[in-house]
Amino acid sequence: MAVPLVGFVVAPLFRKVPDKWIPVGNVDDFEIGKTVDVQIADPSPLPWAGITAKSAAWLRRESADEFIAFSINCTHMGCPVRWLPNAELFMCPCHGGVYYKDGTVAAGPPPKPLYRFEVRVVKGSVQIKSAPVPITTTL
């Protein structure tokens, strides 16, 4: 009886996550040079995920047809980073991680740059390709 229960709990952790493009707005909704947060959802949430399947990304419009999207999660411990527009830096409030506007590490404990999502524009719609965000958990 315990084996089916363990399988039910563990199996979702090993399934392949489907690629899903999530529309986050129209091209004209975003100002060139400005970084904003956009709402995204996990394409394959676990049955018990609930509200944790909802997330966000930082999206910046670089030019008329180029966008960059970053995970909101710090690569150190996964805390949500915030964007400071005047300094053009991402800051993590948990352990002092700092990232430049291109997502590379500027200071603090983060071992890697912010995770980047793929972004595309289809018929005027900006779309982010959802993916599991790798997070290092080192102190």
Pick the residue with more confidence: 125 or 47? Answer: 125
Q: Which of 55, 34, 28 is CA-nearest to residue 125?
A: 28
Residue-wise pLDDT tens digits, 7-21: 545 554 555 556 789
How confident is residue 43, by pLDDT bands cut at 50, 70 and 90? low
Nearest to 103 by CA among 130, 73, 79, 77: 73
Per-residue pLDDT at 74: 94
Give pTM, 2 decimals: 0.78
pLDDT surpassing 80 at residue 59: yes
Q: Domains in the chain and their CATH numbers?
A: 21-130 (2.102.10.10)
